Amino acid sequence: MKLKALFLTFFAFFNSFLLSNTLYSETPEEAGFKISLNSEKANNGFRGEVSEMKMILEDAHGTKISRKMKGKIMETKGDGDKSISQFLLPADVRGTMMLTWTHKKKDDDQWLFLPSIKRTKRISSSSKSASFMGSEFSYEDLGSQEVEKYTHKLIKEEKNQDGLAMWLIERTPKNKKSGYKRLKTWIIKKYNNPSKVEYFDRKNELLKTATFSDYREYKVGGKSLWRANKIHMVNVQTGKKSTITWSNRKLGVEFDEDEFEKDSLLEQDF
């Protein structure tokens, strides 16, 4: 028994030693990529999502504008997600919709439907860094952040104010047309999702900061998926702020792919 216990202790120590050496042998870039890839995998499997959203725009003087939206997202195989956001209120933006097809490597496809002229406008690559409907969120921010579109680097591990363990990952867009030089992303280990993201402009100066909160657990096919139900974006250069909150959120919804075609925007009512 003593020999068996000694063997088991040695075996456990040896495995721990190998694991430790494997972790330390990784470069910060390899570790960052692995963490980002695992985070993406942890968020896959939701199939489809529907929700209601509220967007609050606040200028540097504290004046606020409220907008009501609804949205749906469809998970696709082998590529990025497809999503539609539709404005419900106020009247001046009612019926405006944005359709996004995200891709793992090439530029995302995005279209904006304008009900006043019943026309669908394609968002060009050079316009992806522009403001979405006057908010501090850009068109680029609204696509899913595919791992393949960035280089990744683990900076350090730390804890947030609630004591939750996090990784700090620096991500650099591979697309030279991106509005960002780099992003610093704090990923909460428990949720495999961000706590905060700092966006640096092309001059490498801090442009804005997004804070993610009100995480809730959703079950789809026995898998737990965590989603932030509030994102607060602050433009540190202008003092403007935008907040999006989600309600009546459902995951595991099945969609017909035809619902996410550009030509279907004229008939959308979901």
- Any domain includes 202: yes
Amino acid 105: pLDDT: 87
Query: Does residue 212 fall inside a structural domain?
Result: yes
- Residue 54's DSSP bridge partners are 68, 245
Whether cis (ω within 30° of 0) applies to the bond prior to 90 is: yes
pLDDT in tens, the chain (270 residues): 444 444 444 444 445 444 445 545 789 999 999 999 999 999 999 999 999 999 999 999 999 999 999 999 999 988 999 999 999 999 999 999 999 999 998 999 999 999 988 899 999 988 999 999 999 999 999 887 899 999 999 999 999 988 999 999 999 999 989 999 999 999 999 999 999 999 999 999 999 999 999 999 999 999 999 999 999 999 999 999 999 999 999 999 999 999 999 887 876 665
Could you tell me where the beta strands, DSSP code E, fall in 3-131? 48-58, 64-74, 82-89, 97-101, 109-114, 119-122
230 inside domain: yes
pLDDT number for residue 85: 96
pLDDT number for residue 21: 52
pLDDT value, residue 139: 95
Q: Looking at residue 265, what is its pLDDT?
A: 81
Do residues 111 and 124 lie in contact, with contact meaning Cβ atoms separated by under 8 Å?
no
3-state secondary structure of 79: coil
- Do the domain assignments include residue 91? no
Domain containing residue 233: CATH number: 2.50.20.10
- Predicted local distance difference test score (pLDDT) of residue 25: 76
**What is the structure's pLDDT at 253?**
98
Q: 137 is in which domain, residue-wise? A: 40-70+125-252
Give the C-alpha distances (Å, rounded to integers) separating 156 from 153, 165, 166, 186.
9, 11, 9, 10
Q: Give the model's pLDDT for residue 169.
A: 98
Domain count, the chain: 1
Sign of CA dihedral 104, 108, 109, 115: positive
262 Cβ partners below 8 Å, 6+ apart?
99, 111, 120
Please check whether residue 194 lies inside any domain of the structure.
yes
226 part of a folded domain: yes
pLDDT at 57: 98
- Residue pair 201/187 in contact (Cβ under 8 Å)? The answer is no
Residue 197 lies inside a defined structural domain of this protein: yes
Task: Show the DSSP H helices in 26-95 as ranges.
Answer: 28-43
State residue 6's pLDDT score: 45
Would you say residue 92 lies in a domain?
A: no
In angstroms, the CA 187 to CA 194 distance is 4
